[in-house]
C-alpha cells in the first residue's frame, strides 16, 4: 500500500493512495448520492466493493490539518473492443465531509454556512490530477498514452454537470434505471449458476453481444460466482450477473416517488418490493440474450430473485440501445418498473491524447453501464 502528497498549501494537502483508510471509509459511508429533486441514496457495501477492485483503484483525498475531509476514487480497467478499446478510468466515489447528510437533516444543511466554492475548488484540482493518469502509479499507464476518463452524473445535478464540463468532460450518452420485481418469485428449472469451466464460453458470448458498446468490460462479471444462465436444450440463451446490493433511500422524485416512499412500505405485497430504510436488491450486470429470446429474460431474472432471496433487481441501460428497447417492450419487468420514474443518467467522458475521429465513436456507440459499479 502507498500514500503520497501531490499538492500542499498551508494546512491543506492532496494525497494519492491505493487504499481507503478508516477516515475515508467513514466519509464515503455517510455521503448521499444524487441531487436535490432526484433520487437520493447512500451506498451500503463500499468496503467490500473497494476490496474487489484490488490494485486497480486509486483515491485522491483532501486533507485539512492531517484529517481527511473529502475523497474521489478512480477505478482502472481496459474497456471496449476494436475501435472502442482504450485504457480507461472510471470515477466512482466522490464524497466531501461537508456533505454528510441524513434522512432527517439534509434539507436543513442547506442553511449552514458551508461555502460550496471550497468544495468546487477541491473537485477542480482533483479532476486536474485525474487528467494525468500516469500520476496514479498504475502499471502500464504512461504519460502521453491514449486514455479515457469517464463518470456517470444524474441529469438533474446541475452543479456536478457544470463542474465536470469545466474539467473538460464531454457528455456522450445517457442511460436509465430499469427495475425488475416479483411479489413471489419462483425458480425455473432451465436456470442455473454458470459453471467455472464455462466462463470462457460465456465471456465470448458477452463480447459478441457488446461488440459495438463503449466502456464494456468483464473485470467483475465472474468473480463473485453469481453469474446465472438460462439454457434451452443445453444451449445458453440468456445470462446475467446478479450482485447483492443495499441502498439507504432518502428521496424518490415525483408523485410515484411519494407512492414508493410512503405507500409501498405499508401496503400488503408491495412492501416486499421496496423498503426505503434499507432497500435490498440485486444489481444486474452483463445481461446477455440470444436474439429473438428476449422475453425469456423475465424467467431468468425471476429465478435469480427466488434463488438469492430478493424481490427486486435493478439494472442500468443506455436508453438508445437495442437492449433497452427489448427490456421496455418485450420483457415483463413487473410492477416497480411501471412506477419508477427515474431521471436519465448522463455519461461524461474526458478524452486524453485522442483525435476527433476517435472521439466520435463514443457518441455513436451505446455505452455499457456496469451494474457492479452501481452496487
Q: Spell out the SS3 assignment of 206-236.
A: HHHHCCCCECCCCCCCCCCCCEEEEEECCEE
Indicate whether this model's pTM tops 0.85: yes
**Each residue of 109-151: pLDDT tens digit?**
344 333 555 555 656 677 778 788 888 999 889 999 999 999 9
**Each residue of 250-306: pLDDT tens digit?**
887 666 676 777 777 777 777 777 776 788 999 999 999 999 999 999 999 999 999
Give the residue among 224, 231, 169, 246 at the shortest CA–CA distance from 201. 231
Stated as kind and residue range, the H or E segment containing 40 is: strand 40-43
- Where are the chain's structural domains? 3-176+345-374, 177-339
Contact 371, 337 (CB under 8 A): no
Strand 67-79 versus strand 227-232 pairing type: unpaired
- Residue 35 in grid coordinates: 441531487
Question: How far, in whole angstroms, is CA 372 from its chain's centroid?
Answer: 6
- Residue 22 in grid coordinates: 478508516
Domains 3-176+345-374 and 177-339 share a fold: yes
- Please state which CATH class domain 3-176+345-374 belongs to: alpha beta
**Each residue of 329-339: pLDDT tens digit?**
999 999 888 87
Question: How far, in whole angstroms, is CA 366 from its chain's centroid?
Answer: 16
Q: Residues near 357 by Cβ (< 8 Å), separated by ≥ 6? A: none
Asked whether the predicted pLDDT for residue 208 surpasses 60, the reply is: yes
Choose which CATH entry (2.60.40, 3.40.50, 3.40.630, 1.10.530) describes domain 177-339. 3.40.630
CA angle 218, 49, 192 (to 5 degrees): 55
Amino acid at each position: 500500500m502507498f500514500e503520497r502528497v501531490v499538492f500542499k498549501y498551508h494546512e491543506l494537502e492532496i494525497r494519492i493512495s491505493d487504499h481507503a483508510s478508516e477516515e475515508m471509509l467513514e466519509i464515503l459511508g455517510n455521503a448521499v448520492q444524487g441531487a436535490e429533486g432526484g433520487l437520493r441514496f447512500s451506498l451500503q457495501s463500499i468496503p467490500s466493493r473497494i476490496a474487489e477492485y484490488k490494485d486497480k483503484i486509486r483515491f485522491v483525498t483532501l486533507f485539512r490539518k492531517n484529517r481527511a475531509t473529502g475523497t474521489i476514487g478512480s477505478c482502472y480497467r481496459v474497456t471496449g473492443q476494436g475501435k472502442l478499446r482504450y485504457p480507461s478510468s472510471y470515477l466512482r466515489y466522490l464524497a466531501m465531509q461537508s456533505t454528510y447528510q441524513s434522512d432527517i437533516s439534509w434539507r436543513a444543511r442547506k442553511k449552514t454556512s458551508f461555502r460550496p466554492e471550497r468544495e468546487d475548488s477541491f473537485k477542480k484540482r482533483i479532476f486536474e490530477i485525474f487528467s494525468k493518469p500516469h500520476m496514479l502509479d498504475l502499471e502500464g499507464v504512461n504519460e502521453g498514452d491514449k486514455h479515457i476518463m469517464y463518470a456517470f452524473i444524474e441529469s438533474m445535478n446541475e452543479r456536478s454537470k457544470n463542474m465536470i464540463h469545466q474539467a473538460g468532460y464531454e457528455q456522450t450518452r445517457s442511460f436509465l434505471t430499469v427495475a425488475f420485481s416479483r411479489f413471489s418469485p419462483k425458480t425455473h428449472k432451465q436456470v442455473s449458476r454458470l459453471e467455472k469451466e464455462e466462463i470462457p464460453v460465456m465471456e465470448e458470448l458477452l463480447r459478441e453481444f457488446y461488440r459495438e458498446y463503449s466502456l464494456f468490460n468483464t473485470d467483475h462479471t465472474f468473480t463473485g460466482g453469481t453469474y446465472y444462465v438460462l439454457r434451452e436444450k443445453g444451449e445458453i440463451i440468456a445470462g446475467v450477473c446478479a450482485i447483492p446490493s443495499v441502498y439507504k433511500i432518502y428521496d424518490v422524485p415525483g408523485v410515484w416517488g411519494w407512492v414508493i416512499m410512503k405507500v409501498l412500505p405499508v401496503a400488503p405485497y408491495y412492501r416486499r418490493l421496496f423498503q426505503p430504510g434499507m432497500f435490498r436488491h440485486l444489481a444486474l450486470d452483463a445481461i446477455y440474450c440470444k436474439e429473438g429470446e428476449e422475453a425469456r429474460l423475465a424467467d431468468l431474472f425471476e429465478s435469480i430473485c427466488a434463488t438469492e432471496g430478493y424481490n427486486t433487481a435493478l439494472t442500468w441501460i443506455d436508453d438508445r440501445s437495442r437492449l433497452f428497447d427489448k427490456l421496455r417492450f418485450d420483457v415483463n419487468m413487473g410492477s416497480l418498473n411501471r412506477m419508477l420514474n427515474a431521471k436519465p443518467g448522463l455519461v461524461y467522458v474526458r478524452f486524453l491524447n485522442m483525435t476527433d475521429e476517435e472521439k466520435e465513436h463514443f457518441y455513436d456507440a451505446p455505452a455499457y453501464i456496469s451494474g457492479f459499479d452501481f452496487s
